[in-house]
Protein backbone atom coordinates (compact mmCIF):
# COMPACT_ATOMS: atom_id res chain seq x y z
CA UNK A 1 0.00 0.00 0.00
CA UNK A 2 2.71 2.44 0.98
CA UNK A 3 4.57 1.79 -2.28
CA UNK A 4 1.38 2.67 -4.19
CA UNK A 5 0.93 5.95 -2.32
CA UNK A 6 4.64 6.72 -2.51
CA UNK A 7 4.76 6.25 -6.27
CA UNK A 8 1.46 8.15 -6.79
CA UNK A 9 3.08 11.22 -5.20
CA UNK A 10 6.86 11.06 -5.53
CA UNK A 11 6.96 9.28 -8.90
CA UNK A 12 4.23 11.48 -10.36
CA UNK A 13 6.48 12.60 -13.21
CA UNK A 14 7.65 9.09 -14.06
CA UNK A 15 5.85 6.50 -16.17
CA UNK A 16 6.37 3.73 -18.67
CA UNK A 17 5.49 5.01 -22.14
CA UNK A 18 2.92 2.69 -23.67
CA UNK A 19 1.27 4.45 -26.61
CA UNK A 20 1.29 8.03 -27.87
CA UNK A 21 1.37 10.54 -25.03
CA UNK A 22 0.06 8.00 -22.51
CA UNK A 23 2.36 6.82 -19.75
CA UNK A 24 1.53 3.97 -17.37
CA UNK A 25 2.20 5.25 -13.87
CA UNK A 26 4.18 3.14 -11.41
CA UNK A 27 1.42 3.66 -8.84
CA UNK A 28 -0.95 1.40 -10.77
CA UNK A 29 1.72 -1.27 -11.16
CA UNK A 30 2.20 -1.34 -7.38
CA UNK A 31 -1.57 -1.02 -6.87
CA UNK A 32 -2.40 -4.15 -8.85
CA UNK A 33 0.38 -6.05 -7.07
CA UNK A 34 -1.07 -4.96 -3.71
CA UNK A 35 -4.58 -5.97 -4.80
CA UNK A 36 -3.39 -9.40 -5.91
CA UNK A 37 -1.56 -9.89 -2.61
CA UNK A 38 -4.64 -8.82 -0.62
CA UNK A 39 -6.84 -11.20 -2.64
CA UNK A 40 -4.45 -14.04 -2.00
CA UNK A 41 -4.44 -13.33 1.76
CA UNK A 42 -8.23 -13.09 1.83
CA UNK A 43 -8.34 -9.44 2.89
CA UNK A 44 -10.25 -8.65 -0.30
CA UNK A 45 -12.88 -10.55 -2.24
CA UNK A 46 -14.76 -10.04 -5.49
CA UNK A 47 -18.25 -8.70 -4.81
CA UNK A 48 -20.54 -10.54 -7.25
CA UNK A 49 -23.04 -7.68 -7.50
CA UNK A 50 -20.30 -5.11 -8.18
CA UNK A 51 -18.78 -7.46 -10.75
CA UNK A 52 -22.12 -7.75 -12.54
CA UNK A 53 -22.48 -3.95 -12.57
CA UNK A 54 -18.95 -3.68 -13.98
CA UNK A 55 -19.88 -6.09 -16.79
CA UNK A 56 -22.82 -3.84 -17.67
CA UNK A 57 -20.48 -0.81 -17.59
CA UNK A 58 -18.12 -2.70 -19.93
CA UNK A 59 -20.99 -3.51 -22.30
CA UNK A 60 -22.19 0.11 -22.40
CA UNK A 61 -18.62 1.37 -22.88
CA UNK A 62 -18.21 -0.97 -25.85
CA UNK A 63 -21.51 0.31 -27.30
CA UNK A 64 -20.15 3.84 -26.94
CA UNK A 65 -17.01 2.83 -28.81
CA UNK A 66 -18.95 1.16 -31.64
CA UNK A 67 -21.36 4.08 -31.92
CA UNK A 68 -18.65 6.70 -31.54
CA UNK A 69 -17.14 9.09 -34.01
CA UNK A 70 -13.91 8.84 -36.01
CA UNK A 71 -11.90 10.30 -33.13
CA UNK A 72 -12.66 7.41 -30.76
CA UNK A 73 -9.76 5.58 -29.13
CA UNK A 74 -9.59 1.87 -28.33
CA UNK A 75 -6.66 2.35 -25.87
CA UNK A 76 -8.81 4.92 -24.02
CA UNK A 77 -11.57 2.30 -23.67
CA UNK A 78 -9.16 -0.34 -22.34
CA UNK A 79 -7.62 2.18 -19.94
CA UNK A 80 -11.05 3.19 -18.61
CA UNK A 81 -11.89 -0.44 -17.78
CA UNK A 82 -8.40 -1.12 -16.40
CA UNK A 83 -8.53 1.88 -14.04
CA UNK A 84 -11.93 1.10 -12.51
CA UNK A 85 -11.89 -2.71 -12.40
CA UNK A 86 -10.57 -2.69 -8.78
CA UNK A 87 -13.93 -1.27 -7.66
CA UNK A 88 -15.42 -4.77 -8.06
CA UNK A 89 -13.40 -5.73 -4.96
CA UNK A 90 -14.51 -5.33 -1.36
CA UNK A 91 -12.61 -5.27 1.96
CA UNK A 92 -13.52 -7.87 4.57
CA UNK A 93 -12.48 -5.56 7.39
CA UNK A 94 -14.11 -2.13 7.18
CA UNK A 95 -13.51 -0.43 10.51
CA UNK A 96 -11.34 2.70 10.89
CA UNK A 97 -10.77 3.18 7.17
CA UNK A 98 -10.13 6.91 7.48
CA UNK A 99 -7.69 6.48 10.40
CA UNK A 100 -5.72 3.83 8.52
CA UNK A 101 -5.55 6.04 5.43
CA UNK A 102 -4.49 9.01 7.56
CA UNK A 103 -1.62 7.11 9.15
CA UNK A 104 -0.35 6.12 5.69
CA UNK A 105 -0.77 9.43 3.92
CA UNK A 106 -0.08 12.02 6.63
CA UNK A 107 3.77 11.77 6.54
CA UNK A 108 3.69 12.01 2.73
CA UNK A 109 1.48 15.11 2.87
CA UNK A 110 3.86 16.77 5.32
CA UNK A 111 6.92 16.07 3.19
CA UNK A 112 5.26 17.41 0.03
CA UNK A 113 4.11 20.53 1.92
CA UNK A 114 7.72 21.18 3.00
CA UNK A 115 9.04 20.51 -0.51
CA UNK A 116 6.50 22.84 -2.13
CA UNK A 117 7.16 25.63 0.34
CA UNK A 118 10.93 25.31 -0.06
CA UNK A 119 10.55 25.20 -3.86
CA UNK A 120 8.56 28.43 -3.94
CA UNK A 121 10.96 30.51 -1.84
CA UNK A 122 14.10 29.02 -3.41
CA UNK A 123 13.16 30.45 -6.82
CA UNK A 124 13.98 33.97 -5.60
CA UNK A 125 17.60 32.95 -4.89
CA UNK A 126 18.29 29.99 -7.16
CA UNK A 127 15.98 29.11 -10.04
CA UNK A 128 17.32 26.40 -12.37
CA UNK A 129 14.99 24.92 -14.98
CA UNK A 130 14.59 21.66 -13.06
CA UNK A 131 13.27 23.40 -9.92
CA UNK A 132 9.71 23.34 -11.26
CA UNK A 133 9.94 20.66 -13.93
CA UNK A 134 12.67 18.05 -13.85
CA UNK A 135 11.00 15.76 -16.40
CA UNK A 136 13.56 16.66 -19.12
CA UNK A 137 16.21 15.03 -16.89
CA UNK A 138 14.30 11.72 -16.82
CA UNK A 139 15.09 9.16 -19.55
CA UNK A 140 12.42 9.31 -22.24
CA UNK A 141 11.17 5.76 -21.72
CA UNK A 142 10.46 6.42 -18.01
CA UNK A 143 9.16 9.97 -18.39
CA UNK A 144 5.50 10.82 -17.85
CA UNK A 145 4.46 12.31 -21.21
CA UNK A 146 0.94 13.25 -20.18
CA UNK A 147 0.52 16.96 -21.04
CA UNK A 148 0.21 19.05 -17.86
CA UNK A 149 0.58 22.71 -16.87
CA UNK A 150 3.57 22.04 -14.65
CA UNK A 151 5.24 25.46 -14.81
CA UNK A 152 2.80 28.36 -14.43
CA UNK A 153 4.16 31.93 -14.07
CA UNK A 154 2.03 34.29 -11.98
CA UNK A 155 2.66 37.93 -10.98
CA UNK A 156 6.39 37.69 -11.65
CA UNK A 157 7.05 34.33 -9.97
CA UNK A 158 6.17 30.68 -10.54
CA UNK A 159 3.40 28.89 -8.70
CA UNK A 160 4.54 26.06 -6.45
CA UNK A 161 3.63 22.59 -7.70
CA UNK A 162 4.93 20.68 -4.69
CA UNK A 163 8.15 19.84 -6.58
CA UNK A 164 7.09 16.20 -7.10
CA UNK A 165 3.61 16.82 -8.52
CA UNK A 166 2.65 17.68 -12.07
CA UNK A 167 0.54 20.80 -11.50
CA UNK A 168 -0.01 23.55 -8.91
CA UNK A 169 -3.69 22.58 -8.85
CA UNK A 170 -2.83 19.06 -7.69
CA UNK A 171 -0.57 20.48 -4.98
CA UNK A 172 -3.27 22.87 -3.77
CA UNK A 173 -5.86 20.11 -3.62
CA UNK A 174 -3.49 17.92 -1.64
CA UNK A 175 -2.89 20.76 0.82
CA UNK A 176 -6.66 21.30 1.17
CA UNK A 177 -7.09 17.62 2.07
CA UNK A 178 -4.13 17.94 4.44
CA UNK A 179 -5.88 20.82 6.20
CA UNK A 180 -8.96 18.62 6.49
CA UNK A 181 -6.75 16.06 8.24
CA UNK A 182 -5.75 18.87 10.58
CA UNK A 183 -9.39 19.57 11.40
CA UNK A 184 -10.61 16.06 12.20
CA UNK A 185 -7.43 14.36 13.49
CA UNK A 186 -5.20 15.50 16.38
CA UNK A 187 -2.21 16.87 14.47
CA UNK A 188 0.02 19.75 15.47
CA UNK A 189 -1.32 23.22 14.66
CA UNK A 190 2.13 23.98 13.21
CA UNK A 191 1.60 21.29 10.59
CA UNK A 192 -1.88 22.63 9.89
CA UNK A 193 -0.38 26.06 9.18
CA UNK A 194 2.23 24.38 6.98
CA UNK A 195 -0.55 22.88 4.86
CA UNK A 196 -2.22 26.30 4.70
CA UNK A 197 1.02 27.93 3.56
CA UNK A 198 1.50 25.32 0.84
CA UNK A 199 -2.06 25.94 -0.30
CA UNK A 200 -1.39 29.69 -0.52
CA UNK A 201 1.80 29.24 -2.54
CA UNK A 202 0.07 27.13 -5.19
CA UNK A 203 -2.26 30.03 -6.15
CA UNK A 204 -4.81 27.55 -7.50
CA UNK A 205 -8.55 28.07 -7.80
CA UNK A 206 -9.38 24.36 -7.57
CA UNK A 207 -7.58 24.18 -4.22
CA UNK A 208 -9.66 27.13 -3.03
CA UNK A 209 -12.87 25.28 -3.92
CA UNK A 210 -11.73 22.15 -2.10
CA UNK A 211 -10.58 24.26 0.88
CA UNK A 212 -14.06 25.79 1.07
CA UNK A 213 -15.84 22.43 1.13
CA UNK A 214 -13.30 20.86 3.50
CA UNK A 215 -13.85 23.75 5.91
CA UNK A 216 -17.62 23.28 5.78
CA UNK A 217 -17.35 19.51 6.25
CA UNK A 218 -14.83 19.82 9.07
CA UNK A 219 -16.92 22.15 11.20
CA UNK A 220 -18.92 19.18 12.47
CA UNK A 221 -16.02 16.99 13.56
CA UNK A 222 -13.55 18.98 15.57
CA UNK A 223 -12.91 20.94 18.72
CA UNK A 224 -13.92 24.54 19.25
CA UNK A 225 -10.36 25.80 18.66
CA UNK A 226 -9.70 23.94 15.41
CA UNK A 227 -13.22 24.58 14.14
CA UNK A 228 -12.98 28.35 14.39
CA UNK A 229 -9.29 28.46 13.48
CA UNK A 230 -10.13 26.82 10.17
CA UNK A 231 -13.04 29.19 9.60
CA UNK A 232 -10.93 32.24 10.47
CA UNK A 233 -8.14 31.18 8.11
CA UNK A 234 -10.62 30.77 5.29
CA UNK A 235 -12.21 34.18 5.95
CA UNK A 236 -8.73 35.75 6.31
CA UNK A 237 -7.73 34.37 2.93
CA UNK A 238 -10.92 35.64 1.26
CA UNK A 239 -10.63 39.10 2.83
CA UNK A 240 -6.92 39.39 2.06
CA UNK A 241 -7.52 38.34 -1.54
CA UNK A 242 -10.02 41.11 -2.07
CA UNK A 243 -7.97 43.81 -0.35
CA UNK A 244 -4.67 43.09 -2.08
CA UNK A 245 -4.31 45.16 -5.25
CA UNK A 246 -3.10 42.20 -7.35
CA UNK A 247 -5.72 39.96 -5.81
CA UNK A 248 -5.33 36.28 -6.70
CA UNK A 249 -9.01 35.66 -6.00
CA UNK A 250 -10.19 38.64 -8.05
CA UNK A 251 -7.93 37.65 -10.94
CA UNK A 252 -9.41 34.17 -10.93
CA UNK A 253 -12.98 35.49 -10.71
CA UNK A 254 -12.35 37.88 -13.61
CA UNK A 255 -11.73 34.88 -15.83
CA UNK A 256 -15.49 34.28 -15.79
CA UNK A 257 -16.25 37.81 -17.02
CA UNK A 258 -17.02 36.74 -20.58
CA UNK A 259 -15.91 38.19 -23.88
CA UNK A 260 -12.93 36.95 -25.86
CA UNK A 261 -11.13 35.92 -22.71
CA UNK A 262 -13.83 33.35 -22.03
CA UNK A 263 -12.32 31.10 -24.66
CA UNK A 264 -8.78 31.18 -23.30
CA UNK A 265 -8.90 31.57 -19.50
CA UNK A 266 -8.12 28.60 -17.31
CA UNK A 267 -11.29 28.93 -15.22
CA UNK A 268 -13.53 29.17 -18.29
CA UNK A 269 -11.80 26.20 -19.95
CA UNK A 270 -12.22 24.12 -16.80
CA UNK A 271 -15.71 25.07 -15.61
CA UNK A 272 -17.66 26.78 -18.42
CA UNK A 273 -16.48 25.76 -21.86
CA UNK A 274 -17.13 22.02 -21.35
CA UNK A 275 -20.84 22.90 -21.29
CA UNK A 276 -20.40 24.38 -24.77
CA UNK A 277 -18.72 21.18 -25.93
CA UNK A 278 -21.58 19.06 -24.59
CA UNK A 279 -24.13 21.32 -26.23
CA UNK A 280 -22.39 21.14 -29.61
CA UNK A 281 -21.71 17.42 -29.76
CA UNK A 282 -23.85 15.54 -27.22
CA UNK A 283 -27.32 16.94 -27.86
CA UNK A 284 -27.19 16.70 -31.63
CA UNK A 285 -28.77 13.20 -31.71
CA UNK A 286 -30.55 10.78 -29.34
CA UNK A 287 -27.80 8.21 -29.94
CA UNK A 288 -25.02 10.56 -28.87
CA UNK A 289 -27.06 11.59 -25.83
CA UNK A 290 -27.51 7.98 -24.71
CA UNK A 291 -24.22 6.38 -25.78
CA UNK A 292 -21.83 9.31 -26.19
CA UNK A 293 -19.25 10.07 -28.84
CA UNK A 294 -16.87 7.27 -27.96
CA UNK A 295 -13.85 6.85 -25.63
CA UNK A 296 -11.09 9.43 -25.92
CA UNK A 297 -13.02 11.85 -28.15
CA UNK A 298 -13.45 14.92 -25.94
CA UNK A 299 -9.85 16.08 -26.41
CA UNK A 300 -9.64 14.96 -30.06
CA UNK A 301 -12.75 16.54 -31.56
CA UNK A 302 -11.85 19.92 -33.15
CA UNK A 303 -12.95 23.04 -31.27
CA UNK A 304 -12.24 26.73 -31.86
CA UNK A 305 -11.97 27.39 -28.11
CA UNK A 306 -10.08 25.89 -25.20
CA UNK A 307 -11.98 23.36 -23.06
CA UNK A 308 -10.63 20.98 -20.44
CA UNK A 309 -12.01 17.53 -19.67
CA UNK A 310 -13.26 17.39 -16.06
CA UNK A 311 -14.73 14.02 -15.15
CA UNK A 312 -18.36 15.10 -15.48
CA UNK A 313 -17.78 16.41 -19.00
CA UNK A 314 -15.53 13.58 -20.23
CA UNK A 315 -17.77 10.88 -18.78
CA UNK A 316 -21.02 12.11 -20.35
CA UNK A 317 -19.41 13.33 -23.58
CA UNK A 318 -17.69 10.03 -24.31
CA UNK A 319 -20.11 7.48 -22.79
CA UNK A 320 -23.41 9.38 -22.92
CA UNK A 321 -25.91 9.84 -20.15
CA UNK A 322 -26.85 6.16 -20.32
CA UNK A 323 -23.34 4.83 -19.82
CA UNK A 324 -22.22 7.74 -17.61
CA UNK A 325 -25.06 7.48 -15.10
CA UNK A 326 -24.76 3.70 -14.89
CA UNK A 327 -21.02 4.03 -14.30
CA UNK A 328 -21.68 6.48 -11.43
CA UNK A 329 -24.16 3.97 -9.96
CA UNK A 330 -21.44 1.31 -10.09
CA UNK A 331 -18.95 3.56 -8.29
CA UNK A 332 -21.56 4.58 -5.69
CA UNK A 333 -22.49 0.94 -5.00
CA UNK A 334 -18.84 -0.10 -4.62
CA UNK A 335 -17.96 2.81 -2.33
CA UNK A 336 -21.12 2.48 -0.22
CA UNK A 337 -20.31 -1.18 0.51
CA UNK A 338 -17.10 -0.11 2.26
CA UNK A 339 -18.93 1.98 4.91
CA UNK A 340 -16.28 4.69 4.61
CA UNK A 341 -16.75 8.06 6.29
CA UNK A 342 -19.22 10.14 4.29
CA UNK A 343 -17.20 13.33 4.77
CA UNK A 344 -14.13 11.79 3.10
CA UNK A 345 -16.27 10.34 0.31
CA UNK A 346 -17.88 13.76 -0.26
CA UNK A 347 -14.51 15.51 -0.42
CA UNK A 348 -13.02 12.91 -2.75
CA UNK A 349 -16.09 13.02 -5.01
CA UNK A 350 -15.88 16.81 -5.34
CA UNK A 351 -12.20 16.57 -6.21
CA UNK A 352 -12.64 13.69 -8.65
CA UNK A 353 -15.86 14.76 -10.40
CA UNK A 354 -15.46 18.53 -10.66
CA UNK A 355 -11.86 19.68 -10.13
CA UNK A 356 -9.77 18.13 -12.85
CA UNK A 357 -9.40 15.60 -15.65
CA UNK A 358 -9.27 12.72 -13.21
CA UNK A 359 -11.33 10.10 -15.05
CA UNK A 360 -8.19 8.42 -16.42
CA UNK A 361 -5.70 10.03 -14.03
CA UNK A 362 -3.94 6.92 -12.75
CA UNK A 363 -2.19 8.45 -9.76
CA UNK A 364 -5.33 10.21 -8.49
CA UNK A 365 -7.60 7.18 -8.85
CA UNK A 366 -4.92 4.96 -7.27
CA UNK A 367 -5.16 7.04 -4.09
CA UNK A 368 -8.94 6.57 -4.00
CA UNK A 369 -8.59 2.82 -4.48
CA UNK A 370 -6.09 2.62 -1.62
CA UNK A 371 -8.56 4.48 0.62
CA UNK A 372 -11.61 2.38 -0.26
CA UNK A 373 -10.10 -1.02 -1.01
CA UNK A 374 -6.74 -1.38 0.75
CA UNK A 375 -6.52 0.95 3.76
CA UNK A 376 -7.55 -1.70 6.32
CA UNK A 377 -5.93 -4.69 4.61
CA UNK A 378 -3.11 -6.25 6.57
Contacts of 48 (CB under 8 A, 6+ apart): none
- Tens of pLDDT along 249-262? 445 545 554 443 44
Listed in sequence order, the DSSP H helices in the chain are 2-10, 26-41, 48-67, 74-84, 97-122, 168-184, 189-202, 205-218, 224-243, 248-253, 266-267, 273-281, 286-291, 311-336, 342-354, 362-369
Contacts of 247 (CB under 8 A, 6+ apart): 241
pLDDT at residue 360 above 80?
A: yes
CA dihedral 167, 374, 346, 182 (to 10 degrees): -70
pLDDT at residue 328 above 70?
A: yes
Q: How far is CA 265 from CA 297, 307, 311, in A?
A: 22, 9, 19
Share of the chain above pLDDT 90, in %: 40
Band of the pLDDT at 245, cuts 50, 70, 90?
Answer: very low
**What average pLDDT does this structure show over 184-211?**
85
- Tens of pLDDT along 29-43? 999 999 999 999 888
**What average pLDDT does this structure show over 192-215?**
87
Kind plus residue range of the DSSP H or E element containing 153: strand 153-154
Amino acid sequence: MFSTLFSAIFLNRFGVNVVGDFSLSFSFVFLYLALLFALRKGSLFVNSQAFFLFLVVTFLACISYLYGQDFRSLPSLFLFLFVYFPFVLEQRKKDKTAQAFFSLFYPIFLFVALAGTFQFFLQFFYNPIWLFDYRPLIPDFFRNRNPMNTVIPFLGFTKSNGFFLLEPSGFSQMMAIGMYFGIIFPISLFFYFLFFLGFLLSFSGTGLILFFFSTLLGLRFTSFLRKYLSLLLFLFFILGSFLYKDSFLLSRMSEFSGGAGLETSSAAARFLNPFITLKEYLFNSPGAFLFGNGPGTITRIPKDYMAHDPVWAKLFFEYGFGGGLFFLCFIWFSVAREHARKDFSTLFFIQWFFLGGHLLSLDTVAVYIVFYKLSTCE
